[in-house]
Amino acid sequence: MVIGIAGGSCSGKSTLARSLVELLGDRKTVHVSQDNYYKDQSVYSEQEREKINYDSPAVFDIDLLVYHLSRLIDGRPIKKPIYDFVTHTRVTGYDLVYPENDIILEGILIFTDKKLRDLMHLRIFLDITADVRLARRVLRDTEERGRTPESVKKQWFDSVEIMYEKYVAPTKRYADFVFTENPEYDDIASLADSIREGEHL
């Protein structure tokens, strides 16, 4: 089964994906993030990279992601790219990912592309409030990506939340499940049970 998890930046997509992987441990589940499929921006100067809108569908290599997801579904391994968020470039090399019984794909814009949506058996959307997501974003980007709180907030109000309203929020209509707050353990366990029983195949 292919499970898609979408939602705004820092809505808890990766956390939910990891929880499902753990709960579905007996089935063997592979977790793929859309973040790895940002296009390489090394052709641009450092100053130019800072001006790129990283919340637009145009910055993702959707064709490669569709191809890789299709390979995993067909039982073939993929060479998943490695993306450096500090430099906005792809790192030399790749992560070799092998197919498993279940595939969890998560990302802000995975529901915008029909080719990707059609490969999913179950779609989940995390509809978390903007203030919660912004607080998480400031913490994550300052601790993990070398950003200042001021630069994170500027990017948030200049593009992140604007793109959320334009591209991400409308895809909620494609979801089978919508969570308006962080899913509790019982909610995630119930999801895992429905996946295990193949209810959405």
Q: How far apart are CA 53 and CA 56, in angstroms?
A: 6
Phi/psi for 82 (5° steps) reads -115, 125
SS3 content of the chain, % helix, strand, coil (to 5): 45, 20, 35
Mean pLDDT of 173-191: 92
**CATH number reported for the structural domain that contains residue 86 in this entry:** 3.40.50.300
Q: What is the pLDDT of residue 26?
A: 78
In a domain, 201, yes or no: no
Q: What's the pLDDT band for 201 if we cut at 50, 70, 90?
A: low
pLDDT tens sequence across 161-174 = 999 999 999 999 99
Percent of the chain with pLDDT over 90: 81
Full domain range(s) for residue 172:
2-196
Residue 159 has pLDDT above 60, yes or no: yes
In a domain, 140, yes or no: yes
Burial of 26 (C-beta count, 10 Å sphere; 0-12/13-18/19+): exposed
pLDDT tens sequence across 23-57 = 998 788 999 999 999 999 999 999 999 889 999 99
Q: Running DSSP on this structure, what letter comes out for residue 156? A: I
Please state whether beta strands 177-179 and 78-84 pair in parallel, antiparallel, or not at all (unpaired).
unpaired
Q: Which amino acid appears at position 120 of this protein?
A: M
In a domain, 153, yes or no: yes
Mean pLDDT of 9-22: 94
Structural domain count of the chain: 1
Q: How far apart are CA 166 and CA 176, in angstroms?
A: 21
Cβ neighbours, 10 Å, residue 3: 25
In a domain, 178, yes or no: yes
Residue 199 has pLDDT above 80, yes or no: no
pLDDT tens sequence across 76-95 = 999 999 999 889 999 999 99
Q: How far apart are CA 40 and CA 181, in angstroms?
A: 33
In a domain, 12, yes or no: yes
| First-last CA distance in the chain | 7
In a domain, 34, yes or no: yes
pLDDT tens sequence across 113-151 = 999 999 999 999 999 999 999 999 999 999 988 889 999
